[in-house]
Amino acid sequence: MHLVIDGIARDPEQLADAEAVRVALIECARRIGMEPAAEPLVVQLRASHRALPGVTGVLLLKESHITVHTAPEESWMAIDVFSCHDFDGGSVLRFFADHFAFTRSDVLEVATPQRAKDRCYAETAP
């Protein structure tokens, strides 16, 4: 399943908080029963000619990944959760909507093709 969420948050300062993003990545994975393959990578980004300042975070999962990008100046964040295993997209939306106090969100949910599910496996190096 692939879930993409665009959210508008009530508190733009929370979107600038790298620790809030780190906690959200870990908690999201826990809530949907996915196992991190490594610690989350969370980076505070400065404005550039191509992007607004904000926070970008990624959590690699044994099942795939969760990414978060924020733009506090716009009160906006984008969330991407992908796994070849099924998970509860509504639970992910509710978690992020509560954690970042969304005032609005748009969601796109795409089912994982059976071929990908059939070939899906998670293996980590020792």
Domain boundaries, the chain: 2-119
Q: What band does 76 get if pLDDT is binned at 50, 70 and 90?
A: very high
Residue 114 pLDDT level (bands cut at 50, 70, 90): low
Percent with pLDDT over 90 in the chain = 73
- Pick the catalytic residue from 28, 75, 83, 84: 84
Active-site entry in 28, 69, 75, 83: 69
Q: Residue 86: its pLDDT value, please?
A: 85
What is the pLDDT, as a whole number, of residue 113? 67
CA 46 vs CA 49, 52, 78, 88, 118: distances in Å: 10, 7, 17, 33, 41
User: What pLDDT is recorded for position 44?
Assistant: 94
Cα 123 to Cα 63: distance, rounded to the nearest angstrom:
9
Q: Quick check: is 84 catalytic?
A: yes
User: What is the band of 126 on the pLDDT scale with cuts at 50, 70, 90?
Assistant: very low
Catalytic (active site) residue 64 = yes
Mean pLDDT, residues 34-48:
93
Residue 125: the pLDDT is 41
Of 3.20.20.140, 3.90.1150.10, 3.30.70.260, 3.60.90.10, the CATH number of 2-119 is 3.60.90.10
The catalytic position among 48, 49, 64, 99 is 64
- List pLDDT tens digits, range 57-67: 999 999 899 99
Catalytic: 91? no
CA neighbor of 99 nearest in space, from 39, 45, 57, 53: 57
What mean pLDDT, rounded, does the chain reach?
A: 89
Q: Which has the higher per-residue pLDDT, 67 or 84?
A: 67
